[in-house]
A and B are shown apart, each in its own frame.
Chain A
Amino acid sequence: AQKVTQAQTEISVVEKEDVTLDCVYETRDTTYYLFWYKQPPSGELVFLIRRNSFDEQNEISGRYSWNFQKSTSSFNFTITASQVVDSAVYFCALSDAYNTDKLIFGTGTRLQVFP
């Protein structure tokens, strides 16, 4: 069965601190995709990144970076120099590669960034 675990329920930081959100996944598939979505207080899920199982290169986009390690089944997300606008719930998700593309989400990590 496929599963995504986000063990951190809530994280609080002060602005400009770096923060890492953990994501551990389980799947028997050899081909799969991992995603991160942001859900701000307005409620709409915003896509941040997609990574396929064959691409273990880390990725950096501005203040965001992602560390994908197949050996530990983890896909962690780091925000550098956090800002108040980063406050949101962040979801890690897994999708299969066998046509449906349905997303299996973790329970999310609520990030609060205080000024």
Chain B
Amino acid sequence: DTGVSQDPRHKITKRGQNVTFRCDPISEHNRLYWYRQTLGQGPEFLTYFQNEAQLEKSRLLSDRFSAERPKGSFSTLEIQRTEQGDSAMYLCASSLVQGATGNEQFFGPGTRLTVL
């Protein structure tokens, strides 16, 4: 168990540029979540995948955001035409769901995005 990994850890970009983040979940985990955390706040849910299917998207996820999990393993989160308001920590979490709910989510170290 190597834990959830995220890449890059830090990203600085200029407004209007596109950025892509990657998340590698714990290998046997079938669910993958993306959250966003701004300074002084708790993480906020963005979207989640069950295997390769994206099952729910928050209203926080504008049309400039897209997430994929093509083979049910790693996931990418892309932000197009970044805005200063996108500056935040983007957290990825994974869990193993086998019927029951309330499963523990394991979080990665996050990608800190700064939009200048």
Contact = CB atoms under 8 A, between A and B. Distances in A.
B18 to A, nearest CB: 24
Interface in A48-96: 50, 52, 91, 93, 95-96
Given A45-B91, A91-B42, A103 B105 contact: yes
Interface residues of B, number: 28
Interface of B: 31, 33, 35, 40-45, 48, 55-56, 89, 91, 93, 95, 97, 101-110, 112
Do most interface residues of chain A lie in helix, strand or loop, or is the interface mixed? Answer: strand
B45 A45 contact: no
Contact of B109 (A32, A33, A43, A98): A43
Contacts of A101: 31, 48, 95, 97, 101-103, 105
B43 A107 contact: no
Nearest to A100: B56
Given A45-B91, A95-B102, A101-B95, 18 more contacts: A35-B104, A43-B89, A44-B107, A44-B108, A44-B109, A44-B110, A45-B43, A45-B107, A46-B107, A50-B102, A93-B42, A96-B101, A97-B102, A101-B102, A101-B103, A102-B33, A103-B43, A105-B43
Contacts of A52: 102
Contacts of B112: 43
B89 A95 contact: no
Contacts of B35: 103
A50 B104 CA distance: 7
Contact of A105 (B44, B55, B103): B44
Size band of the interface chain A makes with B:
20 to 34
Nearest to B89: A43
Given A91-B42, A95-B101, A106-B42, A100 B106 contact: no
Nearest to A32: B102
Nearest to B43: A105
B109 A47 contact: no
Contacts of B56: 100, 102
10 nearest CB pairs, A to B:
A105-B42, A33-B102, A45-B107, A102-B45, A44-B109, A97-B101, A105-B43, A91-B42, A47-B104, A107-B42
